[in-house]
Amino acid sequence: MGRYWRGSRVGRHLFLTDRPAGRPNWTEAAASAHWSSRQAASSKGRGGGNDRRQNEAVYSSRVRPQARRLAWLWLAWTVAGLFYITQDSVPRLYRGEAVAWKYVFVGWMAGMYVCAALTPAVLWLGDRWPVERRVIHTAWHLGFSVIFSIMATAIEVPVLLLLGVFPAATPPPIVAGIRIMLSFGIQGGVVRYWAVIALQAVYRSQKSAKAREREAFELRVQASELAEQLATAQLSALKMQLHPHFLFNTLGAIIVLIQQQKTAQAEAMVEKLGDLLRRTLEDVEAQEVPLWRELEFLALYLSIEQVRFEDRLQVRMAADPALSDVLVPHMVLQPIVENAVRHGLGESEDAVTITVAATSANGCLALAVSDDGPGLPSAGAGPAGIGLANTRARLARLYGDRAGLVIEPAPARGVRVTITLPIRTTPAGNGRWD
CA distance 269 to 255: 10
Of 60-69, 153-162, 322-331, 349-358, where does mean pLDDT reach its minimum? 60-69
Strands 352-361 and 364-371: antiparallel
For the segment 390-428, what is each residue's pLDDT rounded down to a tens digit? 788 888 888 888 899 998 888 878 899 999 999 988 643
Whether the predicted pLDDT of 33 surpasses 50: yes
CA angle in degrees (0–180, nearest 5) for 422-424-426:
160
| Closest C-alpha among 379, 307, 380, 294 to residue 337 | 294
Of 12-26, 59-73, 248-262, where does mean pLDDT reach its minimum? 12-26
For the segment 109-145, what is each residue's pLDDT rounded down to a tens digit? 888 899 999 999 999 999 999 988 888 998 999 999 9
Per-residue confidence (pLDDT) for residue 151, from 0 to 100: 92
The Cα-based distances of 363 to 323, 399, 420 in angstroms read 11, 14, 10
Whether the predicted pLDDT of 314 surpasses 80: yes
Beta carbons of 345 and 313 less than 8 angstroms apart:
yes
Whether the predicted pLDDT of 237 surpasses 60: no
Instruction: Enter the pTM of the model.
Output: 0.46
Question: Does residue 298 come out as left (phi exceeding 0), alpha (psi in the -120 to 50 range) or beta?
Answer: alpha
